[in-house]
């Protein structure tokens, strides 16, 4: 089994193109894979075990320097530079060596280092896609330091977000950007159907479909578009009920997954009624929103950056929570799509410094989150939502304090299980929903999907 996992990861490291919204190929601001990698000094091997006290500074020169790998200069690198400034106020000798490294390259370097047994090539801190976190910790248990006893208060983060980087009850990541799901609506189009955003708040998918029919009749526009052949909405609907494609023991949970069946049936109903229209690419998806071809969307909150490129529509948009599933236990109006978290490597010479830096900034500074808010970086650290900056109204979204609202949404997102084969499972389910929409039997498609996942897992 271990050999099968390593073979899969080595192969995927060569071809993987994960995006911030769950590996669908969609481009979230927090997960832009562009940019060339520049080499950073290698961290020393043989570092202290997680939780072992290390000197806060080098005794000879008084330097406190950490190397960080992350991607997207305007988003993640900018956040790190701002965190450096905040930490330097109390630690004037502190320095960061931030190396722009695309996520695909980080995943490849992690895989290569772990399988070779030489972790000295890794940095002190790196950013990891949330949906890949459990996969890497489980497959490569020697890479990420255990931060459970580091002094970081993980209870102040949204539980659903924190769960992505928890394995066997231990915390291996410090949550960063917010992927809480929002439902965005064109209020001027809703008005033509005699509706307001209140008619879409705290509703079920049955109510959503009925409202969508009214909008379609009044405007000729669908309520939502989604990219064909992908399953972002499927996964958002699943997590909104705390459901997963895997059981806690790592086995596939497809054929007997009643929540998945309800999700598939709901998606097909959305498509059959015309409330949902499928498009062929991510560019077409964004284009349908900003061109006014659709009355809304449901996605991670990062989609708001794309929505706001339609400057002529300013003031005509509003956000609220997503619809909940009907007839499903634990159904909520909250979910997540995308995001990433910071990891400290076991090869870091000064794990105590790395943990204190992350704990004092990304897990302890409203100033940091206020400073990076203009770049679109929303926190999942609950105290950030109480600041004046987060409470400021957004003219584009009708004067609503959308930032504070999204942080509140994130605190209500149920956790789910990702595991080692999350992306393989997504792909199998995406094929199943496509075939089901085109007339295949649902039970047969779910059996095929589970068989495909079991084959990938070597079972």
Beta strand segments in 13-145, E = 64-70, 94-100, 125-129
Angle between helices 2-15 and 130-139 (to 10 degrees): 140
> Which has the closest alpha carbon to 376: 83, 75, 84?
75
First to last CA, the chain: 8
pLDDT of residue 458: 83
> Which has the closest alpha carbon to 322: 425, 217, 422, 239?
239
pLDDT of residue 7: 41
Name the burial class of residue 45, with classes exposed (0-12), middle (13-18) and buried (19+) by CB atoms within 10 angstroms of its CB: middle
Q: Is the dihedral of CA 82, 22, 68, 342 positive or negative?
A: positive
Beta carbons of 136 and 325 less than 8 angstroms apart: no
Beta carbons of 146 and 346 less than 8 angstroms apart: no
pLDDT of residue 375: 81
> Could you read off the pLDDT tens digit of each residue along the chain, which spans 459 residues?
443 444 444 434 433 333 333 333 333 333 333 333 433 333 333 333 333 333 343 333 446 999 999 998 988 999 999 999 999 999 999 999 999 999 999 999 999 999 999 999 999 999 999 999 999 999 999 999 999 999 999 999 988 899 999 999 999 999 999 999 999 999 999 999 999 999 999 999 999 999 999 999 999 999 999 999 999 999 999 999 999 999 989 999 999 999 999 999 999 999 999 999 999 999 999 999 999 999 999 999 999 988 999 999 999 999 999 999 999 999 999 999 989 999 999 999 999 999 999 999 999 999 999 999 988 888 899 999 999 999 999 999 999 999 999 999 999 999 999 888 998 999 999 999 999 999 999 999 999 999 999 998 886
Other beta carbons within 10 Å of 459: 12
Q: Are strands 340-344 and 125-129 parallel, antiparallel or unpaired?
A: antiparallel
pLDDT of residue 338: 87
pLDDT of residue 13: 40
pLDDT of residue 377: 86
Q: Give how far Cα 423 sits from Cα of 371, 427, 457, Å.
A: 34, 6, 12
Tokens, residue 395: 């003219």
The set of residues, in sequence order, having a beta carbon less than 8 Å from that of 427 and lying 6+ positions away, is none
DSSP string, 439-456: T--HHHHHHHHHHHHHHH
How far is it, in rounded angstroms, from Cα 34 to Cα 47?
31
pLDDT of residue 63: 64
Tokens, residue 250: 């790592």
Q: What is the set of domains in the chain, with CATH numbers?
A: 2-179+339-389 (3.40.190.10), 181-335+418-456 (3.40.190.10)
The set of residues, in sequence order, having a beta carbon less than 8 Å from that of 5 and lying 6+ positions away, is 138, 139, 420
């Amino acid at each position: 089994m271990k050999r099968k996992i390593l073979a899969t990861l080595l192969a995927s490291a060569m071809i993987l193109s994960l995006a911030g919204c769950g590996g669908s190929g969609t481009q979230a601001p927090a997960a832009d894979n562009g940019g060339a990698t520049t080499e950073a000094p290698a961290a020393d091997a043989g570092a202290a075990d997680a939780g072992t006290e290390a000197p806060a500074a080098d005794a000879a020169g008084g330097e406190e320097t950490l190397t960080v790998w992350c991607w997207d200069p305007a988003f993640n690198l900018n956040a790190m530079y701002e965190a450096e400034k905040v930490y330097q106020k109390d630690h004037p000798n502190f320095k960061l060596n931030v190396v722009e490294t695309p996520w695909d390259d980080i995943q490849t370097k992690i895989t290569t280092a772990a399988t070779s047994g030489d972790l000295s090539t890794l940095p002190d801190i790196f950013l990891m896609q949330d949906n890949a976190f459990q996969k890497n910790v489980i497959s490569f248990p020697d890479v990420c330091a255990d931060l459970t006893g580091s002094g970081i208060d993980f209870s102040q983060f949204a539980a659903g977000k924190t769960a992505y980087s928890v394995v066997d009850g231990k915390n291996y990541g410090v949550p960063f950007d917010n992927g809480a799901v929002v439902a965005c609506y064109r209020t001027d189009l809703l008005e033509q159907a005699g509706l307001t955003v209140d008619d879409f708040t705290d509703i079920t998918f049955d109510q959503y479909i009925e409202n969508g029919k009214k909008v379609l009749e009044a405007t000729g526009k669908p309520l939502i578009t989604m990219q064909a052949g992908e399953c972002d909405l499927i996964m958002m609907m699943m997590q909104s009920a705390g459901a997963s494609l895997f059981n806690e023991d790592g086995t596939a949970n497809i054929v007997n997954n009643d929540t998945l069946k309800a999700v598939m049936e709901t998606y097909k109903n959305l498509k059959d009624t015309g409330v949902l229209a499928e498009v062929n690419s991510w560019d077409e998806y964004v284009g349908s929103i900003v061109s006014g071809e659709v009355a809304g969307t449901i996605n991670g909150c990062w989609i708001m950056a794309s929505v706001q490129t339609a400057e002529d529509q300013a003031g005509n948009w509003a956000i609220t929570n997503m619809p909940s599933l009907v007839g499903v236990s634990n159904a909520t109006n909250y979910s997540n799509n995308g995001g990433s978290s910071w990891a400290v490597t076991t090869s870091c010479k000064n794990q105590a410094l790395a943990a204190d830096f992350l704990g004092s900034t990304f897990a302890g500074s409203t100033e940091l989150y206020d400073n990076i808010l203009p770049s679109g970086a929303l926190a999942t650290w609950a105290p950030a939502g109480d600041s004046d900056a987060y409470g400021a109204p957004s003219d584009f979204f009708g004067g609503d304090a959308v930032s504070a609202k999204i942080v509140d949404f994130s605190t209500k997102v149920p956790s789910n299980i990702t595991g080692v084969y999350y992306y393989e499972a997504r792909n199998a389910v995406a094929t199943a929903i496509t075939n089901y929409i085109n007339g295949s039997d649902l039970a047969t498609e779910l059996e095929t999907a589970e068989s495909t996942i079991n084959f990938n897992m070597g079972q």
